Amino acid sequence: MKEYKRQYRQLSDETKTKISNSNKNKPKTEIQKQRIRQAMIQYWKTVPNKPNSLSMDDYLKRNDNDR
């Protein structure tokens, strides 16, 4: 599985606002919109939801990768 910058689907409201503001007033053709839409659908299928709580195994795996 590929490594992406984003680990989970959830974003803070501040981040959502920044993304929204950066994308405003940028005209796109219908073909561009369709391609972006399809690419984002494929991308979001690979990003998991954030777990409600971490188990000790999850915590240890994350720390092992940091080294």
Q: What pLDDT, on the 0 to 100 scale, is given for residue 47? A: 77
pLDDT digits (tens, 9 = 90+) for 11-33: 788 988 998 898 888 888 999 99
Token duo for residue 64: 């092992």
Token duo for residue 30: 């219908």
Task: Share the mean pLDDT of the chain.
Answer: 78
In whole angstroms, give the CA distance from residue 40 to residue 30: 15
Token duo for residue 13: 């409201």
pTM value is 0.41
Say which DSSP state 24 is in. Answer: T
In this structure, what are the phi and psi dihedrals at residue 47, rounded to the nearest 5 degrees?
-95, 120
In this structure, what are the phi and psi dihedrals at residue 24, rounded to the nearest 5 degrees?
-75, 150
